Amino acid sequence: MTTSEKHDERMATMTFASVYPHYLKKVERKGRTKEELNQVIEWLTDFDERKQQELIEKKASFETFFQEARLNQHAHLITGMICGYRIEDIENPLTQKVRYLDKLVDELAKGRKMEKILRKA
């Protein structure tokens, strides 16, 4: 699936710091915890809580965020629809990574079991 150039640029320049509070609010509203959110982010990016906080404080863009990340080898198993896009069909690699994160947060908020969210081959 092709996203627009404007959409991809917006994904690249958006900061992790601007989105993280929304992720946290979303999962807490559904009875999940900050620790679970951080665990999901760490699974995808290999960023522990300290590194996540560092990226928030320096207002890292998603482009920087994912350049520094070591994407989980099983991230390609994240499939389905998020925000009107089929994740596995997104052509822009950065936009796809951002949508991976969105999908994991969505699954956490919907009450999916952690062992299902943290995909294994």
Domain assignment of residue 29, given as a range:
5-117
Under-70 pLDDT residues of the chain: 1-3, 121
- Each residue of 43-71: pLDDT tens digit? 999 999 999 999 999 999 999 999 999 99
Which amino acid, one-letter code, is at 98? V
Burial class (CB in 10 A: 0-12, 13-18, 19+), 4: exposed
The domain total for the chain is 1
Q: Which two tokens stand for residue 80?
A: 């389905």
C-alpha–C-alpha distance, residues 79 and 95, integer Å: 14
pTM: 0.91
Reported as type and span, the H/E element at residue 5 is helix 5-13
CATH code for position 57? 1.10.8.290
